[in-house]
Amino acid sequence: MIKVVCAIIQFEDKILIAQRSETMSLPLKWEFPGGKIEEGENKEEALEREIYEELKMKVEVNEALTSFEHHYPNFSITLYPFLCEVKSTAFLKTEHKEIRWEKKENLHTYDWAAADIPILEEIGEI
């Protein structure tokens, strides 16, 4: 079981979403940015580190949403989503194919990684 954190980063009426690259597992699926928790980290530290590594963006980790397990054919994850805030909307794409700010009401139009769909449901977008 892989422990993963992800950030629902909202700025005004938009949320930051990321498209996985062709070389990542689940290629070209959309997700909320984040990554694996490393040994010795708590969830909030892991999320701050991952967002900085992937986007060169500093976030303030706020409210935890519902965590859950998801089983893909080749691996399983426990996903810990958090609502986050940013002081600036600027980011630098380092590993994803695409990163964009999207209006909340349009999130349902993307091809999401299966593990992220319960988050969309919780924040009221499906």
- Residue 77 confidence (pLDDT) above 50: yes
Given this model, what pLDDT does residue 125 score?
59
What confidence score (pLDDT) does residue 126 get? 44
If one counts the domains in the chain, the total is: 1
Res 88 pLDDT > 90: no
CB atoms within 10 A of CB 94: 11
Domain coverage including residue 67: 2-122
CATH classification of the domain holding 59: 3.90.79.10
